């Protein structure tokens, strides 16, 4: 998280933005998802386990990521007990 200076035709402006591997993975998963589809990585899948039905889609290699990532599709919320 931090401030980033952007240069454009109308001059410089500052924006506050998130960068790094977590942000990169989120962007790659969002780009890979189809309409009305939510894809999540392994950490998010672990946190959602038991609360949502997930389907493993396997390992995917994404641009600018050193290692393949286990991808899951979120299907639906599970009813509360």
H helices of the chain, where?
21-32, 42-48
- Our count of domains for the chain comes to 1
- Per-residue pLDDT at 81 exceeds 60: no
Domain assignment present for 7: no
Whether the Cβ atoms of residue 39 and residue 69 lie closer than 8 Å to each other? no
Q: Which domain holds residue 54?
A: 20-77
3 assigned to some structural domain? no
Indicate whether 47 belongs to any domain: yes
Residue 13 domain-assigned (yes or no)? no
User: Is 9 inside any structural domain?
Assistant: no
pLDDT tens, position by position, 41-74? 999 999 999 899 999 999 999 988 889 999 999 9
Q: What Å distances lie between residue 49 and 45, 52, 69, 74, CA to CA?
A: 6, 6, 17, 10
In a domain, 36, yes or no: yes
Does the global pTM surpass 0.75? no
Closest of 34, 69, 71, 38 to residue 52, by C-alpha: 38
- pLDDT mean over 23-35: 93
């Amino acid at each position: 998280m931090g401030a980033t200076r952007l240069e454009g035709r109308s001059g410089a402006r500052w924006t506050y933005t998130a960068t790094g591997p977590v942000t990169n993975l989120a962007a790659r998963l969002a780009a890979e998802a189809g309409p009305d589809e939510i894809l999540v990585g392994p950490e998010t899948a672990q946190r959602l386990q038991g609360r949502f039905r997930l389907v493993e889609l396997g390992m995917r290699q994404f641009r600018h990521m050193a290692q393949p990532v286990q991808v899951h599709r979120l299907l639906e919320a599970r009813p509360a007990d």
